[in-house]
Amino acid sequence: MSTTADPRPAELHHAHRDVTGGWLRPATFGVMDGLVSNFSLVAGVVGGGATGGTVVLTGLAGLVAGACSMATGEYTSVSSQRDLTRAEIDIEKRELERNPDDELRELTLMYEAKGLRPELASEVARELSAEPDVAWRVHVREELGIDPDDLPSPWTAAASSFVAFAVGALVPLLPFVLGLSGLVPSLILSALALAMVGAGIARLTARPTWFGSRRQLLLGGLSAAVTYAVGLALGTGMS
């Protein structure tokens, strides 16, 4: 019998990226919101006739207020979701204590629905239900579709959102902070940042980079154009 080792590398497992840690959505939303909202804010006040220090002050106020608001909203949202999840987990634990036979039958039927033979589904369900600490976790995963040991962190979501929004919101302000006047330098820098972030998000999510860049440029451009037009109209009317 040949003992030659298979030259092909073993591919028993491949690593996945963290998709449940609670950071990607708030970070993505935060940086895009910071870019779009603060550039729109800057465009609005420039359209209304503000220049120099007024634009910087307005933009910094928008940065701080927006970052705090985003972080607070994300913390509250994720905390509420965790509380709801824990309440549902408690319900499942009580059901397992009060009606173990019904819960066992329910788990068996779920495995049958996934394609297991009735005898095998019953055996698997009984084996997994033997330990109470394992049983409730299995029921939570199967019935609620969540991992009770990997719930998203509200602090992670809040911090990701705060930092991402602040970074995004700083980009439109940089030209004014460096002493450049007019909206064009801020527009160019913001457009480049939107395209880069859109491409990065698309790459992370396995979408074409051109699609991500074009989408973010279109959405950001529309928002800025609307705000600039409103600022221009109000500035002209109040002058």
| Per-residue pLDDT reduced to its tens digit, 61-76 | 999 999 999 999 999 9
Other CB atoms within 10 Å distance of the CB of residue 132: 12
Decide: helix, strand or coil at residue 145: coil
Enumerate the domain spans of the chain.
Answer: 29-45+52-233
Residue 26: pLDDT band with limits 50, 70, 90: confident
pLDDT in tens, 203-226: 877 788 888 888 888 887 787 778
Burial (CB count <10 Å: 0-12, 13-18, 19+), residue 108: buried
Lowest mean pLDDT among 73-82, 163-172, 186-195, 201-210: 201-210
Q: Which two tokens stand for residue 134?
A: 């394992």
H/E/C letters for each residue in 8-53? CCCCCCCCCCCCCCCCHHHHHHHHHHHHHHHHHHHHHHHHCCCCHH
pLDDT in tens, 34-50: 888 888 888 888 877 88
Nearest to 67 by CA among 176, 178, 173: 173
pLDDT of 11 strictly over 90:
no
- Tokens 């109470």 identify what position? 132
**Which position has the higher pLDDT, 7 or 136?**
136
pLDDT value, residue 12: 46
pLDDT of 13 strictly over 70:
no
pLDDT of 88 strictly over 60:
yes
Cα distances (Å, whole numbers) of residue 91 to 97, 138, 207 = 10, 14, 39
pLDDT of 1 strictly over 50:
no
